[in-house]
Amino acid sequence: MANENLSNYTDANIKTLEGVEHIRRRPGMYIGRLGNGSNPGDGIYVLLKEIIDNCIDEYSAGFGKQVIVNIDGLQVSVRDFGRGIPLNSVVKATSELNTGGKFDDKVFKKAVGLNGVGTKAVNALSSEFYVSSFREGESSWARYERGELIDSGKNGKVAERNGTLVTFTPDHEMFGDFDFNMEYVETMVKNYSYLKKGLTLVLNGTSYKSENGLLDLVNENLSETPLYEPIHLEDEDIEVVLTHGNSYGENIASFVNGQNTRDGGTHLAAFREAVAKTLKDYFKKDYRPEDCRQGIIGAISIQIQEPNFEGQTKTKLGSTYMWEKFKTDANGKRIQNPDGSLEIDRGPTIRTFVNDFIARKLDNFLRMHLDIAPIIEEKIKASQAEREEIAGIQKKTRERNKRANVYNRKLRDCRYHFGDKMPKDAEEDFGELSSIFITEGDSASGTITKTRNANYQAVFSLRGKPINCYKESHKRVAENEELNLLVSALGVEDDLDNLRYNNIVIATDADDDGMHIRMLVLTFFMKFYPDLIRRGHVYILQTPLFRVQNKKERRYCYSVEEKDRAVEELKTPVQITRFKGLGEISADEFSNFIGDDMRLDLVKLSEEESMSQIMEFYMGDNTIDRQNFIRANLRSEKELEDVNV
């Protein structure tokens, strides 16, 4: 067998992918994920961002004060008024990998796109892509289909202002039945305006412009009345806003060179550390960092040269230094060390840069605004007292449950956890797959436990309905056995960075009780662990309501509409099964729903939504508005049972 395999591996097996073909073969390497537009991290938004990033880089370099974005159905157009792509390089700049003008700091000093791939990825993953560059009354253009050049040319004597126009339609072959969620697009455009004061962005006719930068971002998105007016600190290459509220967790937006780093990185870690250290030094008290940051609301934006992001989607900063480049002599030749290695010129570390800025600016601010410091210290002391009380309660509860062996009955853990070092035979993308399913009842828990991949999928079983946390104190919730054990299972008692699973999946029945349990669990996370939602860790598992089958084919349907369509398409006599609970789905069938094709709905709040308002609406006093909403949006059991089966 070995010799046969060796003889089958010949020169013919060695292939070179031309042009942008590699992007279409391996899109995840370039845009992270594909998706259908239901998640803000889906690829269609990455495509849009890559094109707008180029416009932002032009503005940052001092060219063009307006960017126009139009989305008409599935087609996107972006027009800037910068310098325009050099006319003889339009085709190269949009189709040849590793070709671009941002590989040194001669033209773009602090740009977002530096790898020569972004626009090419958009081109390769679009069914239609058109680019036109306007410079000094002339233009050059190119038209592509799925990355292949169809036509190109030049025009003289055009009346257009300098700049670039890009029009593209994401490819259905790559993204399936996708759609743009304009809420996500609007948030993206607003963030660009906050980060680039003076720049006007026009989205489908609506203009966005910020005069106060990050201060506008924080003020316009406050979901609660802050304890004091937000502190706004600025200097060259850094801008910071911070305040405190009474909510739990930390709500800090972070940006690098105009890029929204929603997964944080070195700059956010430095900011969190610097705020805690500066407050401790100012008050001359050894407060715990988590107490200094409890309830903090803010944002940080830094500008650095040639940023290094973790992953093509640029959502987490990996750079250690403010700049890092090879040293060159007067002729531009790289200088070598005696051992033959190349000399590297490094700026200050990001950690040092941010720490020095916060220590200096925040300390000065507090000394000039003596009315604010006592408010902050009172907040820190309150957090400290509550944390110590809760820690004691949780410890006693865990010890009691350990003696009763409750924990082992409730958690069917997996072999490996988020952040673990994985053996060679483990999944390469384990971190993305690592999940804990929160279920209710032995039947549903048993079904998922039999079906799951025990390497990276855990199951936590609730006993009945957890308490409604909305109007309960943290102390009362900490005393609750169910929720205490859930926190312990997640590993977040002391720090959210110790989270053991990447995906927290709420898996409840698709009936009234299941919906209620789902809202109770979500209320718990929203009130006491909101950062789990902000960081994109909490999901709802979609499970089918119906199974439609005939002798040749079986389909699982997630709505009455899908069921009706399946019945019509299968045509021959069909058998319809209505699933009322997860326990009714056999383990063999359930493997279809928590495997590679698992349907998950990300629990996400828009920038304008307030967690407290949402909890009041769903979990507060029973109001007419809520009753009307439920009647309008949820099907009752009777409706589902009465469907035409």
SS (H, E, C) 453-520: CCCCEEEEEECCCCCCCCCCCHHHHHCCHHHHHHHHHHCCCCCHHHCCCCEEEECCCCCHHHHHHHHH
Q: How does residue 505 score in pLDDT terms, banded at 50, 70 and 90? A: very high
State the chain's mean pLDDT as an integer.
81
Nearest one of 118, 252, 253 to 190, comparing CA atoms = 253
Mean pLDDT of 511-523: 82
Per-residue pLDDT, averaged over 238-247, amounts to: 92
Of the segments 147-156, 274-283, 549-558, which one has the largest average pLDDT value? 274-283
Give the Cβ contact number of residue 469 at 10 Å.
23
pLDDT tens readout for residues 284-310: 999 999 999 999 999 999 988 878 877
Q: Tell me which residue has tokens 């008290």.
A: 285
The whole-angstrom separation of Cα 409 and Cα 412 is 7
Reported as a single tens digit per residue, the pLDDT across 542-555 is 888 888 988 888 88
Indicate whether 117 pLDDT > 70.
no
Strand-pairing partners, residue 259, are 256
Report the C-alpha gap between 312 and 259 in whole angstroms: 12
Measure CA of the first residue to CA of the last residue in the chain; give whole Å: 54
Average pLDDT of the residues in 341-348: 81
Amino acid at 22: H
Per-residue confidence (pLDDT) for residue 293, from 0 to 100 = 93
Tell whether the model's pLDDT for residue 396 goes beyond 90: no
Which of 13-17, 205-209, 323-327, 356-360 has the weakest average pLDDT?
Answer: 13-17
- Show the domains of the chain with their CATH numbers: 21-207 (3.30.565.10), 214-381 (3.30.230.10), 405-543+581-619 (3.40.50.670), 546-578 (no CATH)
Q: Which of 476, 491, 526 lies closest to 506, judged by CA?
A: 526
What CA–CA distance (Å, rounded) separates 507 from 518? 8
Average pLDDT over residues 166-185: 90
| C-alpha count within 13 angstroms, C-beta hemisphere, residue 77 | 12
In 226-384, which ranges are E strands?
231-235, 238-244, 251-256, 259-260, 296-302, 324-326, 344-346
pLDDT at 400: 65
The pLDDT value recorded for residue 605 is 66
pLDDT at 109: 47
If you average pLDDT over each of 372-386, 529-543, 571-585, which comes out highest?
A: 372-386
H-run or E-run covering 169: strand 163-170
So what's the pLDDT on residue 284?
Answer: 94
Mean pLDDT to the nearest integer, 143-168: 90
Percent of the chain scoring above 70 in pLDDT: 83
7-11, 24-28, 532-536: lowest mean pLDDT where? 7-11
- pLDDT per position as a tens digit, 61-92: 889 899 999 999 999 999 999 998 888 888 88
Q: Look at 598 and 246; give whichever has higher pLDDT.
A: 246
* Among 21-35, 44-58, 393-407, 490-504, the least confident range: 393-407
Note the pLDDT of residue 606: 54
What count of other Cβ atoms lies within 10 Å of the Cβ of residue 239? 22
Quick one: average pLDDT of 7-13?
49
Whether the CA torsion 331, 334, 339, 340 is positive or negative: it is negative
Note the pLDDT of residue 423. 65
Taking the C-alpha atoms of residue 356 and residue 90, their distance in angstroms, rounded to an integer, is 43
Instruction: Name the least confident of 83-97, 172-186, 223-237, 322-336.
Output: 322-336
Q: Residue 431 pLDDT > 80, yes or no? A: no
pLDDT for 6 equals 47
CA torsion through residues 449, 454, 524, 632, sign: negative
Higher-pLDDT residue of 251 and 11 is: 251
Higher pLDDT, 591 or 173: 173
Which helix or strand (DSSP H or E) is residue 575 part of?
strand 575-578
Residue of 200, 272, 262, 266 whose CA lies nearest to 242: 272
* pLDDT at residue 451 in the model: 86
Q: What is the dihedral of CA 486, 489, 493, 496, to 10 degrees?
A: -110
Identify the CA nearest to 459 among candidates 419, 499, 418, 409: 409
Residue 493 banded pLDDT, cuts 50, 70, 90: confident
Query: Counting Cβ atoms within 10 Å, is residue 203 exposed (0-12), middle (13-18) or buried (19+)?
Result: buried
Phi-psi region of 622 (alpha: psi -120 to 50; beta: other; left: phi over 0): beta
Residue 488 has pLDDT above 80, yes or no: yes
Q: How many CB atoms lie within 10 A of CB 427?
A: 14
More confident residue, 580 or 193: 193
Average pLDDT over residues 471-489: 82
Give the model's pLDDT for residue 104.
Answer: 46
CA dist 192 to 67, 123, 187, 545, 588, Å?
A: 10, 23, 9, 41, 48
Can you give the pLDDT at residue 381?
95
